[in-house]
Structure formats: C-alpha cells, structure tokens
Amino acid sequence: MKSASQEKRRRKSPAGVRKEQQIRQHLATEAARIIVRERSTSYQVAKQKAAGRLGIPSTRSLPSNEEVEQAIIAYQRLFYGDQQRLRLRALRQTALNAMLFFEQFKPRLVGSVLNGTATEHAEVCLHLFAETAEEVDWFLMNHSIPHKVVNKRFFIHSDTQQTYPAYRFIADDTPIEATVFPSKGLRQAPRTTVDGQTIERASTQVVKALLENDELP
C-alpha cells in the first residue's frame, strides 16, 4: 500500500503540469512545421521527428492529433494568411464538385480539406457508400476517368481493423481519394488507426455551407 508521501510525490505539481503543457505545445508546433514545410502526411511520424529534433523522449508528452491540427491552422494563418484561405477554398470547391459527381454514392468529405489543415499538396478525401465497391469502379470507367485502386485500413469496432478499397484519380489538377464503404457504413464513422478518434465526415450540404460562408476554423 502506498504511503501518503508516496502518493503526494506521484501527483504532478502545478509547475509540473505547466511544464508538460509547454512541452506538448512545443512538440505540436514543431510537428505542424514539419507537416506544412516538409510535406509529411503522417501526424505520428511528424510528432516523432519533432521529439527527436527538440531532444524530448518520444514516449513523453506527445501532443494529440487535435493539438497538432490546431498548431497547423495557427502556423498556416501566421505564415500563409490569405494564400491559405484561397487554397482551402479552391480545394473545398473541388471537393464539392467531386461530391456532386458521386452524388448517388452519398459522399462525405473527410480529412484536411474539411478540418482546414490542407497544405499545398493535399488531396481531397471522400467516403462513398455502395452495395459493392465495383459499382464505383464501373462508374469511373463509364465516365472514362483513369484511376487506380489502393487499400485503406480503419478501425470500425473496438480494436478490429478492416480494409476498404479506395479509388484515386485527378480532378482539376487535384488528387482525389474516394474510399468505398458498405451502404450501412454511413451510420457509423470509422476511427483512425493512429489515435482511435472517430473520423469527422461532412455531407454535401455542409461543404456547400462552408463555401457560402467562406468558413475557416
């Protein structure tokens, strides 16, 4: 049984809490810089690189993906300003065009174009819903759109991973990635394989509203 003095030492002091918050913020800021300037696409890799460059053990005080997202938005506002606003608006317009094209598959926008962290080389990521993935394949072929298929992995239930086909192609000089889920998958958003958080999805109506309001996070 732990003594009162041992329990007291185990608890973090206010100064210790503040120091840990500062470390997390420094790591989030450096990870954001790595993602924006070095074109990293993995939050986890960027956080590990940031820890190495700042001389902080990678097992200590790593920021969450949400903290890194907020740091990316702040970094882009500081160094890119209106350029980032115009870039994000153009990407969201491309996303909306793609969603209207895929209307029969109940498209949802996900990722950096939705949350506002899209960089210069970002791709538009969509979730589509169909009885079979072949429906989307045939749809693209019928419209003479060159594409390739890759596999994407997500957590759906508990710690179970599932693989889904994703179709990649170019539209308006922008890469599009459309992952196909079963029709019933519309009712339950998957979780990321990195931190287990539920992936935010936006309908066509929501994306239209973002463009109409020119809304940025």
101 shares its domain with 196: yes
73 shares its domain with 96: no
88 shares its domain with 138: yes
Domain boundary among 79, 112, 142: 79
pLDDT band at 12 (very low <50, low <70, confident <90, very high): low
Domain boundary among 79, 113, 137: 79
Mean pLDDT (whole number) for 79-90: 86
Count Cβ atoms within 10 A of the Cβ of residue 188 and give its class: 0-12 exposed, 13-18 middle, 19 or more buried: exposed
Q: What is the pLDDT of residues 185-215, one digit of tens each?
A: 888 888 875 566 789 999 999 999 999 987 5
188 shares its domain with 135: yes
The neighbouring-strand residues paired with 202 are 109
116 shares its domain with 191: yes
125 shares its domain with 136: yes
121 shares its domain with 143: yes
110 shares its domain with 69: no
How many angstroms separate the CA atoms of 210 and 217, rounded?
10
Overall number of domains in the chain? 2
Count Cβ atoms within 10 A of the Cβ of residue 29 and give its class: 0-12 exposed, 13-18 middle, 19 or more buried: buried
The per-residue b/e assignment along 103-141, b for 16 or more CB within 10 angstroms, e otherwise, is eebbbbbbbbbbbbbbbeebbbbbbbbbeebeebbebbe
The whole-model pTM stands at 0.77
CA 24 to chain centre: 19
Torsion of CA 77, 100, 169, 216, to 10 degrees: 10
Cα separation values, 135 from 107, 142, 151, 156, Å: 14, 10, 16, 22
130 shares its domain with 148: yes
Pairing mode of beta strands 148-157, 124-130 = unpaired
Q: What is the pLDDT of residues 30-77, one digit of tens each?
A: 888 888 888 777 888 888 888 888 888 766 678 888 888 888 888 888
CATH number (domain holding residue 126): 3.30.460.10
124 shares its domain with 186: yes
CB 31 within 8 A of CB 71: yes
Domain boundary among 24, 47, 79: 79
Q: What DSSP state is assigned to residue 62?
A: P
120 shares its domain with 47: no
Instruction: Return the pLDDT at 5.
Output: 44
Domain range enclosing 116: 82-213
89 shares its domain with 188: yes
